[in-house]
Chains A and B, each alone.
Chain A
Amino acid sequence: MASDAHLFEWLCRMGDNALVLGHRVSEWCGHAPVLEEDIALANTALDLIGQTQLWLGLAGEIEGKGRNADALAYRRDVMDFRNLLLVEQPNRDFGHTMMRQFLFDAWHIEMLSALKGHEHAEISAIAEKSLKEVTYHFERSADTVIALGDGTEESHKRMQDALDRLWPYVGEMFLSDDIDRAVCDPAPLREAFDARINAVLSEATLTRPDSDFAHKGGKTGVRHTEHLGHMLAVMQFLPRAYPDAQW
């Protein structure tokens, strides 16, 4: 059984992934190329923020210092965040946003499937709940990657550029340390992830990059890219300016 300190760190990793990606996706609200996509992106963001409340809520309970999900989301600074570098990458164009979503969804679905039935009953329950939502996310992001990859010359080029740019952030999802291994080691999930994405990329006529070079440090908190601090400055402004505001 994992120690409380390990559990807290691990729950922050899961919660921060959902929070940071959820916020990134929500930045599209009111800006997506068509109304249906705008609604789809906002709904995906909403699911992720809901999952954040569950993961960070449990993290706060286990930490036992009176911090709830809001306190963890809004009152930690950038170096205390434990999300993967992939999810903090900026949105860029719609294709790039969907490629980031696809790569994350493919990992997320394998991770949550592995966690469902975990000996820690609350972790298992959150995974079971989230998995239903994420299965739907993956269906949509995979369909979009195929439609745009195997679309026009322009859309194909943009999707290949997005894949090439984001690929160095894939490896971090499968690195594991003592904290991961105390709860659920992501390394053995790589094979299923590869099978999952290879099938979609080939249908999308996209070429998987050769290099397996991986940027790392996000989930261990060693380093984040410059983008996260800017994102938090926007996301955390209101609760930091009015710390005890209620509405």
Chain B
Amino acid sequence: MVALQPSVADVWEWLDAVPDPEIPVISLVDLGIIRDVAWQDDTLVVTVTPTYSGCPATTIINLDIETALRGHGIEKLQLKRQLSPAWTTDWLTDKGRAKLEDYGIAPPQAAGGPQQCPRCKSQAVERISQFGSTPCKAQWRCTDCLEPFDYFKCI
């Protein structure tokens, strides 16, 4: 008998349900780190790129992908690390950007700083620090509502 392979589209959907371990409101697909999903004979190959080379979440991310796909009955799985082309915040999905803002993290802007305060939407914002609570974020503050907030660095 021939076992039916799940379609690549189904796998993408499953991966879109796996949350980022550090910013759980967005999925791994929203984050843009899943670069490819393909079958090689009977093995499912998922290509993943790291956000920052030292990001401690990378190991957890691989574990979460494996757990999720095994839960959907995938037996032969290979996770491939890809460094080039290097991850860019341009790969964040529009859905992911909207969820970040709702969660209180200003999404990345090509201009290099947040467009507005994610809380009160004021454009009067200032930088507190170039780095924040995770490698991918910086700290900013709204000078109207005075709330400090995270900004997702644009790289």
Interface residues of A (CB under 8 A from B): 36-37, 39-40, 42-44, 46-51, 53-54, 121-122, 124-126, 128-133, 136, 139-140
Contact = CB atoms under 8 A, between A and B. Distances in A.
Contacts of B130: 40, 136, 139-140
Contacts, number: 68
B39 interface: no
Contacts of A51: 53-54
A128 B84 contact: yes
B129 interface: yes
Interface stretch (B21-29, B113-121, B131-139): B131-139
A51 B84 CA distance: 14
B129 A46 contact: no
Given A36-B139, A39-B131, A129 B54 contact: no
A48 B87 CA distance: 17
B86 A46 contact: no
B84 A136 contact: no
B59 to A, nearest CB: 11
Given A124-B84, A128-B84, 12 more contacts: A36-B129, A36-B131, A40-B131, A46-B55, A47-B135, A48-B54, A50-B52, A50-B55, A122-B83, A128-B83, A130-B53, A133-B52
27 contacts: A36-B128, A37-B129, A39-B129, A42-B131, A43-B135, A44-B131, A46-B52, A46-B55, A46-B56, A47-B52, A47-B53, A47-B54, A47-B135, A50-B50, A50-B53, A51-B54, A53-B53, A121-B84, A125-B83, A125-B84, A128-B83, A129-B84, A130-B53, A132-B155, A133-B52, A133-B53, A140-B130
A126 B83 contact: yes
Contact of B86 (A39, A47, A122, A128): A128
Contacts of B128: 36
Interface in B58-76: none
A236 to B, nearest CB: 19
Interface of B: 50, 52-56, 83-87, 128-133, 135, 139, 153, 155
Closest 4 CB pairs of A and B: A50-B54, A50-B53, A36-B129, A125-B84
Contacts of A47: 52-54, 135
A36 B141 CA distance: 13
Contact of A43 (B83, B131, B155): B131
Contact of A39 (B52, B55, B132): B132
A140 B153 CA distance: 14
A136 B112 CA distance: 11
A49 B133 CA distance: 17
Contacts of B139: 36, 39
Nearest to B53: A50
A45 B4 CA distance: 47
A121 B155 CA distance: 22
A42 B52 CA distance: 14
B83 A129 contact: yes
Given A36-B139, A47-B135, A126-B83, A136 B54 contact: no
A87 B122 CA distance: 43
A168 B96 CA distance: 49
A140 B139 CA distance: 14
A39 B130 CA distance: 9
Contacts of A53: 53-54
Contacts of B155: 132, 136
